[in-house]
């Protein structure tokens, strides 16, 4: 059994990860709708990753005998003003998720819940990678994406991304 304050935050994190998956699906659709299939693919993989993150939290709750309380998933409501905006919004969103993971970690630390801290270690590292990946994409878009040929090359490169299931075993 876990502390109630921890399970509340873990439950809320499950919803945030599912929302992330939904948000990135919306971004993926936006790019596919605009014939940028590589960007669509890249965000489609993000969608799969976020779903996998949510399921890791579900599994952790279940492994500890805790009941998962699923909440409604908010509708993504961003109106994209241009191809760069989805990237900026994705970066902002990853910073928000990192803060959310850090908040759970801080509570686990305060409660001396070492098991949850160890579980979250993977997510702390993963968030660092997620932030770096989106930040790099933003910077490369600024450098090359405003030119049609540059945008085409980035899109072609992003088309090759494939989904790899998280390596975390719980």
Residue owning tokens 């976020």? 50
Nearest to 27 by CA among 74, 96, 95, 78: 78
Please, which residue, 136 or 147, has the CB nearer to ligand FEO?
Answer: 136
Write out the DSSP string of 108-133. Answer: HHHTT-HHHHHHHHHHHHHHHHHHHH
- Asked if residue 33 lies in contact with residue 88, where contact means CB atoms within 8 angstroms, the answer is no
Query: Distance between CA atoms of 21 and 53, rounded to whole angstroms?
Result: 9
Size of the site for ligand FEO (CB under 6 A): 7
Interface of this chain with ligand FEO, residues 94 to 133, rule: CB under 6 A: 94, 97, 130
* By the rule CB under 6 A, 17 interacts with ligand FEO: yes
Chain positions 60 to 99 lying near ligand FEO, rule: CB under 6 A, are 94, 97
Of 94 and 155, the one with the shorter C-beta distance to ligand FEO is 94
| Distance (Å, whole) CA 12 – CA 16 | 6
Residues with Cβ < 8 Å from 130, sequence gap 6 or more?
94, 97, 98
* Residue with smaller CB distance to ligand FEO, 69 or 124: 124
Give yes or no for residue 50 binding ligand FEO (CB under 6 A). Answer: yes
Query: Which residue in the set 11, 30, 44, 53 belongs to the binding site for ligand FEO (CB under 6 A)?
Result: 53
Is the Cβ of residue 111 or residue 168 nearer to ligand FEO in the bound state? Answer: 168
- Binding-site ranges for ligand FEO (CB under 6 A): 17, 20, 50, 53, 94, 97, 130
């Amino acid at each position: 059994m876990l502390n109630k304050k921890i399970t509340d935050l873990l439950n809320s994190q499950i919803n945030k990860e599912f929302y992330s998956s939904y948000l990135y699906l919306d971004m993926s659709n936006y790019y596919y709708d605009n014939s940028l299939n590589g960007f669509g693919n890249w965000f489609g993989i993000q969608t799969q990753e976020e779903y996998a993150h949510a399921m890791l939290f579900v599994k952790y709750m279940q492994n500890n005998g805790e009941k998962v309380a699923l909440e409604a998933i908010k509708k993504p409501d961003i109106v994209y003003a241009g191809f760069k905006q989805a990237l900026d919004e994705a970066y902002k969103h990853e910073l928000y998720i990192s803060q959310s993971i850090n908040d759970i970690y801080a509570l686990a630390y305060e409660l001396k819940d070492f098991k949850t801290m160890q579980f979250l270690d993977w997510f702390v590292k993963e968030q660092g990678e997620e932030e770096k990946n989106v930040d790099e994409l933003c910077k490369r878009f600024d450098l090359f994406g405003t030119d049609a040929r540059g945008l085409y090359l980035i899109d072609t490169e992003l088309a090759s991304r494939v989904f790899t299931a998280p390596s975390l075993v719980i």
